[in-house]
Amino acid sequence: MNNTALITGASSGIGLELARLHAAKGDNLVLVARNKAKLDELKQELEATNNISVTTIKKDLSLPDAAREVYDETQEKNIRVDYLINNAGFGDFGLFYETDWEKELRMINLNITSLTQFCKLYLKEMIKRGSGKIMNVSSTAAFQPGPTMAVYFATKAFVLHFSEAIGNEVGDKGITVTALCPGATESGFPAAAGMGTDNFIDKKKIPTSKEVAAYGYKAMMKGKAVAIHGLMNALMVNSIRLTPRSLTVKVVRKMME
């Protein structure tokens, strides 16, 4: 029987590339995103080129209890989720006292609440079976405070620490939890965060979503707890441990501006 991967934020970026990768490996898919047209287009592509089944679910995961609704739908369809990939997320750019609270609330609901609820629901099923893998997409932003993106950086810190903690709790039950921590990646993230095309992220060579997805897939399959993509990102993250926090936050502020 084919394994099944549930991927949120599957209509673009890293999520889309993860869907293609899992399909190529022969995994059935449950793809979740707000854009049903893009999901159905991807479903048609993947089913035509791979001997798999793809289920698409249109859902805004920034809304309360949306994760429960997705879970209930998979239960009704008797879909067993072997790989849970919490990829959906977005950021916002600006000084905290000037940014929009409603957007930040949606960000918290998506980046934290839905991700946590998905883990709560599907972990119970995985524990019963004694197998399963979870990948939560965090970020190198998780390792330090982020002035001008304060809420986003904080949500990713939650994802990292939460993933490590529950990974420890279920490590003896045949289940692994991986926190994927990419740095800047070619995707629609800067535009969605209101960072514009002139931001420093667009002026340097950065990895593609396909490259990050391939790295994340390998890390999840190996059961790696924390997967930091890219040597420079890994060096940066580890150097922060030796730097005074007051200096770190000033450096991040300068970089972001």
Residues acting as catalytic residues:
152
Residue whose pair of structure tokens reads 């067993």 in the numeric block: 80
Distance CA 115, CA 74 (A): 16
Residue whose pair of structure tokens reads 């070619």 in the numeric block: 186
In sequence order, the 6+-apart residues with CB closer than 8 A to the CB of 114 are 8, 61, 62, 66, 67, 86, 88
In sequence order, the 6+-apart residues with CB closer than 8 A to the CB of 29 are 4, 5, 6, 7, 10, 19, 22, 23, 43, 46, 52, 53, 54, 55
Q: In Å, how far are 26, 133, 156, 160, 225 from 181, measured between CA atoms? A: 25, 17, 9, 8, 11
Q: Give the residue from 158, 151, 154 showing the smallest Cα distance to 97.
A: 151
132 pairs with which residues across the strands? 175
Q: In Å, how far are 25, 140, 238, 241 from 232, measured between CA atoms? A: 29, 11, 10, 15
